[in-house]
Structure 1
């Protein structure tokens, strides 16, 4: 049974990790997927995989932090695909420098652009499609860093993920009676390429014990395929076993610090 037959869904950050796995699951449910990301080659590869499995998808590269590009993206979808039923804000970005003492303004802004401002721009662009028909779902991947911010994700990432969680709650309370389902997914540590930005990238055996991209994809699949009458406002998905991250946090504390500020043990 194809629970999303006839639906048009945009997913950002579609090329790898959670986005890739989610796109495949929703395409298998009959949704026409608009795969959005930065790299044409990985999007084309995913689109070919979806087609081989009998699904339908379109590929568009875009800078989702640019209003002009987001508006052009949605206009293209209207012309070539149809009105948008589902928006999945999955694209994410973390900073290299994690301590607020050392992070540069440019790096701070870049993290907020991808994790928060892009969600606002895409939401604003698709809201008319949804509100005009009293139906639609906006699903945003936040993070447990929104609930417990620390030096693992960093100051900018935690702030952006908390802000986007707040924004999704705003959408829920404001538009639920107009048919909009606004859902926040809050993953714990997940084995995606974003971990490579960590001050100490986790070892493979550590990643194997984390939430996997396909686990988050199944959570998104659940909230997207529930009947329109039902909304899961927030869903937390985390590793069963909590690993000791104290050593990672200490390394993160000093990443990006000028040498003059480093403790003697690190010089």
Structure 2
């Protein structure tokens, strides 16, 4: 008998990395997992993996930057699968330009929308049914960039992750006595495909000292599977070893800088 038998879990960014690992662990404990992400093919691959281990999963393509799509997909899930017991807000993205000095408003807004506004929209979509049942779990994967913002994640990413941490705190303080558990998980550097989009993609030996997606997924499962009377408001998880990121920061500082920027280093 699994810890999550009979539960429905909705996981964003479930096609790879932390999202796929979390979905697999939740399904292994008996949850029916709804896998959401931008591309259907990776979701189907994760669903097949879950089914191969005897679990239950449904793939739903979703653009989380669209409030209308979120509302429609959650409504369809409630009709066809069941009301969402566990929402895992995992999907995220960082801007390509990281320095606030050169960051465009368009890229700022896009980053805030995916990392913060989408969490608000998804939460608002599932919250009424959770309140009506008197229980529900909302887990958001933020980042230690919320506490230590720098050029590694960038100005927009750090601000969004700090904002979502604050929003989850609001949910905890406002709805805990209605049975709603709101948890923020703040991971440090994690070796996931998003690392390939860094200004300077980490070398294999640098990735080797990072967290693995499975580490963070285990934290997600812990927070989701506690008995209803217990919850973890916030959980920090970081690599044991701290790597030197000075080269990364200097590289990120100049992404997007005009060629005629007076203080830009010349190669």
**TM-score, normalization: structure 2?**
0.98
Partner Cα separation in structure 2 for residue 135 and residue 262 of structure 1: 57
In structure 1, the gaps of 5 or more residues are: none
The aligned residue for residue 138 of structure 1 is 138
Tell me, yes or no, if the aligned pair for 1:87 and 1:139 is still in contact at 8 Å: yes
Partner Cα separation in structure 1 for residue 33 and residue 78 of structure 2: 13
Q: Are 2:259 and 1:256 equivalent residues in the alignment?
A: no
Secondary structure of the corresponding residue to residue 101 of structure 2: coil
The aligned residue for residue 113 of structure 2 is 113
Partner Cα separation in structure 2 for residue 56 and residue 116 of structure 1: 29
The aligned residue for residue 265 of structure 1 is 265
In structure 2, the gaps of 5 or more residues are: none
How far did 1:264 drift?
5.8
How far did 1:64 drift?
1.2
Tell me, yes or no, if the aligned pair for 2:116 and 2:164 is still in contact at 8 Å: yes
**RMSD, aligned CA:** 0.9
Secondary structure of the corresponding residue to residue 259 of structure 1: coil
The aligned residue for residue 84 of structure 2 is 84
Tell me, yes or no, if the aligned pair for 1:119 and 1:164 is still in contact at 8 Å: yes
Partner Cα separation in structure 2 for residue 103 and residue 263 of structure 1: 17
Secondary structure of the corresponding residue to residue 138 of structure 1: strand
Partner Cα separation in structure 1 for residue 221 and residue 265 of structure 2: 48
- 1:17-28 aligned at under 5 Å gives the runs 17-28=17-28
How far did 1:67 drift?
1.4
How far did 1:266 drift?
2.5
Secondary structure of the corresponding residue to residue 196 of structure 1: helix
> Post-superposition, which runs of at least 4 consecutive aligned residues in structure 1 deviate over 2 A?
262-267
How far did 1:167 drift?
0.1
Partner Cα separation in structure 2 for residue 135 and residue 242 of structure 1: 38
How far did 1:198 drift?
1.4
1:136-183 CA-to-partner distances (Å, cap 9, x unmatched) read: 000000000000000000000000000000000000000000000000
How far did 1:217 drift?
0.3
Tell me, yes or no, if the aligned pair for 2:85 and 2:137 is still in contact at 8 Å: yes
Q: Are 2:196 and 1:196 equivalent residues in the alignment?
A: yes
Tell me, yes or no, if the aligned pair for 2:11 and 2:33 is still in contact at 8 Å: yes
1:188-208 CA-to-partner distances (Å, cap 9, x unmatched) read: 011111112211110111111
Q: Are 2:126 and 1:126 equivalent residues in the alignment?
A: yes
**TM-score, normalization: structure 1?**
0.98
